[in-house]
Structure 1
């Protein structure tokens, strides 16, 4: 594994040393907002589901509740005392006044949001913080930022050792995928369709949160030809015309339709049995939410896209991840329920002749190679400092 950034290490160490001094620590979040956070944090309100998962895996005893309701299937994979936490509704709401009322009622020590770092997210955080006096952090939920977030938020929540342990696991998963991409032949990157929703006709555009794990694996997202953004609706004719080599279904209804309906029978992915159901409990392996939960998805997607380079046992990886991150020891029945509809079968990926780009998403061949990408997202720093003390150098919010 590559050595960790010394600046990131010093930043986490500084947070640890600062705890217990009786002073608030200054935290520069991913939106480049300086936020004073208390040195002892006992109650954390999460603004959205990605933040739910982050706090849950680090310090579940400090999670005040879930931002959205959990399904029965999700609760079966979460320790009972945490599965029964109340529903807070989160902090990402149309009305800031409604959010402020909820915060005032719950009285958290800290609010955390994990998502795209946009001017809207920064403005929302600043407004809620000014209205309530509760510090509100905005974190970049990009996959590459996951180890950094685990370390920094782990230190803030008094769980530095656990944060570092989980971050090392995430680092290894990301680095392992990068290593496999470097040896995978460039013309064996498969064309992939990810079908969301009951009918499978919702998908993610290029650069979307929904496609981040898939694009991280260096394959071609067929919907990227529609441009960059978040989610979009497509038609069955679109999918038929694209004729992807691999189809991943978010929900079982679409998965079953692919296997049983004559409407999909002519697709290469269906004929070659390269149709998979994305594991979803307690949190999705691709998205839902786009958070820390995607780390196990990197191992899974590697096994689907590059079976010749994947020599590990997916069931063993799943057991280890669920034990380490969710504190649950999977039964054999639970493992099979997760893995069997998702596991790779024998077969060759479609040869497609695209450039080798390491761990970066591969552009669709029809897109101009030098087309400008949208910008405007402020780079997250995630550095910390303290009033009256010298500030440490800023830490990249999206570490290499």
Structure 2
């Protein structure tokens, strides 16, 4: 991203859509346009977060800094199911609006429209998983938090490189065919290339869903036809139900006990939302699909990630909620972009 000098304590920021936006040199209140932006602002500059798109639930707040737990929720401007309106944006009194995620003409048009209606600068940041280090550095530059951003970007660089190196050692024929299940019935999924399933791509898994660009409903017959080696989900209710549901009993992954539910507090580890919270999810997913790492290693890495990104020190009870012992059930939570 390019930044040019601008008078009156402002700067010109060139966002991921190529829009040149005059923004405050040091913003004081930043409003997220969607859940991925809320996560990114929180990890970089929790003191600047004007509010949430969705109020954190009681199960999520212990995994957040105390000072942000009771911030108001203003709804979402971008993505599916937008609920915020111009009045809500003005009520938040932000001096900058940020959206993080897919960057295309639709999101750029929304940004231009909201900016014209409110007079509040609105920037778009690429939220692709592979771009996580640059995503952090870019928003760090916009928020005048370059040092913090560099620290988090270094972790992102290391995680992406470490996972990629591990995957490169696995022969293509040994990489599992995976179905990504969303929703309480598991019948919502996303095809390869969608921002929703970038974690699958990053760990070398073969996504059985093909075609399309976004979330879609599929039938039980389609899943039976795909007959995946493993099922990965962000919904613990579905993971529990699939083990005894006759609709799913004929699928190889279910018969082999390879249904994996990702942790989801305070944000989903694979999705919900698709933001930098997925970095710890990559390590979990690689371990789930391929093994090769001890549970102690993953617990230690989880403590490190939560301290660095979320500013939360995890004790053993919190770790047990995220990474429960065999047979226990983790707590569900989360919301997508």
TM-score, with structure 1 as normaliser: 0.76
Residue in 2 that maps onto 1:340: 324
Residue in 1 that maps onto 2:281: 297
Q: Is the 8 A contact 1:200 1:250 kept in 2?
A: no
Determine helix, strand or coil for the equivalent of 2:263.
Answer: coil
CA gap of 1:163–1:94, structure 2 versus 1, over 3 A, is closer
RMSD: 2.6
Does structure 1 residue 277 correspond to structure 2 residue 264? no
Residue in 1 that maps onto 2:72: 86
Does structure 1 residue 68 correspond to structure 2 residue 54? yes
Which one has more relative contact order, counting CA pairs under 8 Å at least 6 apart?
1
Q: Equivalents in 1 of 2:80, 2:205: separation in Å?
A: 36
By how many angstroms is 1:171 displaced? 0.6
By how many angstroms is 1:95 displaced? 12
1:147 equivalent among 122, 130, 133: 133
Residue in 2 that maps onto 1:205: 191
- Kindly tell me the number of residue pairs found equivalent between the two proteins: 327
Does structure 1 residue 131 correspond to structure 2 residue 109? no
Q: Is the 8 A contact 2:125 2:139 kept in 1?
A: no
Does structure 1 residue 247 correspond to structure 2 residue 227? no
Does structure 1 residue 216 correspond to structure 2 residue 186? no
Determine helix, strand or coil for the equivalent of 2:132.
Answer: helix
CA gap of 1:75–1:337, structure 2 versus 1, over 3 A, is same
> Once superposed, which parts of structure 1, at least 4 consecutive aligned residues long, lie more than 6 Å away?
93-96, 309-312
Q: Equivalents in 2 of 1:84, 1:165: separation in Å?
A: 27
Q: Equivalents in 1 of 2:35, 2:251: separation in Å?
A: 34
Q: Equivalents in 2 of 1:44, 1:233: separation in Å?
A: 35
By how many angstroms is 1:169 displaced? 0.3
CA gap of 1:170–1:299, structure 2 versus 1, over 3 A, is same
Residue in 1 that maps onto 2:212: 228
Q: Equivalents in 1 of 2:202, 2:80: separation in Å?
A: 31
Gaps of 5+ in 2: 328-337
By how many angstroms is 1:308 displaced? 3.9
Moved more, 261-270 or 214-223: 261-270
By how many angstroms is 1:307 displaced? 2.2
Indicate the structure (1 or 2) with the bigger Cα radius of gyration: 1
Q: Is the 8 A contact 2:13 2:20 kept in 1?
A: yes
CA gap of 1:136–1:155, structure 2 versus 1, over 3 A, is same
Q: Equivalents in 2 of 1:51, 1:156: separation in Å?
A: 13
2:308 equivalent among 315, 324, 339: 324
Q: Equivalents in 2 of 1:316, 1:249: separation in Å?
A: 23
Gaps of 5+ in 1: 1-7, 344-400
By how many angstroms is 1:103 displaced? 2.6
Q: Equivalents in 2 of 1:273, 1:321: separation in Å?
A: 28
Q: Is the 8 A contact 2:51 2:92 kept in 1?
A: no
Determine helix, strand or coil for the equivalent of 1:340.
Answer: coil
After superposition, the C-alpha distances for 1:338-377 in whole angstroms (9 at most, x for unaligned) are 123799xxxxxxxxxxxxxxxxxxxxxxxxxxxxxxxxxx
After superposition, the C-alpha distances for 1:205-239 in whole angstroms (9 at most, x for unaligned) are 22222211112222111112xx0311111122222
By how many angstroms is 1:119 displaced? 0.5
